[in-house]
Amino acid sequence: MSQLLQQLVLGLLLGGVYVSVALGFSLVWGILNIVNLAHGAFVIIGAYITWVLFSRLGVDPFLSLPVDALVLFALGYGLQRGLINRVIRAPLLFTFLLTFGINLVIVSLLLLIFSPDFRSVTPRYSGSGLSLGSVTIPYIGLARLGIAMLLALVLWFVLNRTRIGAGIQAVGADRDAAQLVGIDLRHVYALTFAIGAAFAGVAGGLIGLQQSITPTAGDPFTLQSFAVVILGGLGRVSATIAGGLLFGLIQVLGLNAPGLGAGYSNAIAFAVLVVVLAFRPQGLLGRLA
């Protein structure tokens, strides 16, 4: 029983990582209709910034998160305005190809700058945790989950309670109508992409605390973000939260499924995905387009 409880806790904590990674991905996909294949690379850039600040200047990894966000915001804005905007109205395949290419370029640049060495952010308090009976809750995991929820709240607030958020939603609903009422499309596009990238950067900063950072470590996050959005549904912050937490739970429980080797964990996770796609294609909390 306590074993199950421990795994539920770990699953939720892992889900926190997925939520933070998928928020930006979901936003960009939902509003701009871009499946950003460079999303995982953005995450890893954030991780490297945190690592550099931590290892060179001794900055606490949690304090470097705003820096991650700012740098990635600027990078995202520039990339969208200068590059991706040129194919924004082209068929989906074009943006696919373009973001795929951007991903390759970023990974190769990271390889040149940082070499393929494994980097890791291990602050002093790493490894301490809260013990509740036989259940252990690692502090860092808890903080990560908390920050993921905070990010989700910020995104929800920006989208629903601010003028710029209204503009973003309007563009997502009908770009031509949005332009007619005087919204600067190019600015809103770039801004949306920049916010998505900034969120990826923060997620990266959090991820460096858990796993090793290498130039290629970002690729799985793009896939996982995709899975989270499919699972939860597109176009709502709450859907990303549900999808992320659920995906974390499925992964951890799948790893420990009785009677099956843990090697089946990915198979179980993606089998659930197929079932969701078949019976509820809009995702658990998604809206039908």
Least gap, CB of 6 to another protein (angstroms):
5
Residue closer to another protein, measured from CB, 262 or 274:
262
Please state, in angstroms and rounded to a whole number, the distance separating the CA atoms of residues 139 and 14: 13
Q: CB 40 → another protein: shortest distance, Å?
A: 12
- Least separation, in Å, of the C-beta of 56 and another protein? 13
Residue 47 CB, nearest distance to another protein (Å)? Answer: 13
The binder of another protein chosen from 183, 253, 272, 284 (CB under 8 A): 253
> Across-strand partners of 129?
138
Nearer to another protein, 16 or 286 (CB): 16
Task: Report the 10 Å Cβ neighbour count for 227.
Answer: 22
User: Per rule CB under 8 A, is residue 20 in the interface with another protein?
Assistant: no
Residue 257's contacts (CB-CB under 8 Å, 6 or more residues apart) are 264, 265, 268
Q: Which stretch binds another protein (CB under 8 A): 62-70, 76-84, 251-259, 273-281?
A: 251-259
Applying the rule CB under 8 A, the residues between 118 and 137 that interact with another protein are: 118-120, 122, 126-127, 129, 131, 134, 136
Q: Binding residue for another protein (CB under 8 A) from 58, 182, 259, 263?
A: 263
Please tell me whether residue 141 binds another protein under the rule CB under 8 A: yes
Q: Which of 33, 169, 179, 211 binds another protein (CB under 8 A)?
A: 211
Q: Please provide the distance, in angstroms rounded to a whole number, between the alpha carbons at the two ends of the chain.
A: 42
Options 242, 255, 273, 276; binder of another protein; rule CB under 8 A: 255
Q: Is residue 117 a contact residue for another protein (CB under 8 A)?
A: yes
Residue 3 binds another protein, judged by CB under 8 A: yes
Contact between 22 and another protein per CB under 8 A:
no
Which of 38-46, 65-73, 236-244, 253-261 is the region at the interface with another protein (rule: CB under 8 A)? 253-261
- Note whether 225 binds another protein by CB under 8 A: no
Applying CB under 8 A, the residues found at the interface with another protein are 3, 6-7, 10-11, 14, 17, 107-108, 111, 115-120, 122, 126-127, 129, 131, 134, 136, 138, 140-141, 210-212, 214-217, 220, 224, 251-253, 255-256, 261-263, 265-266
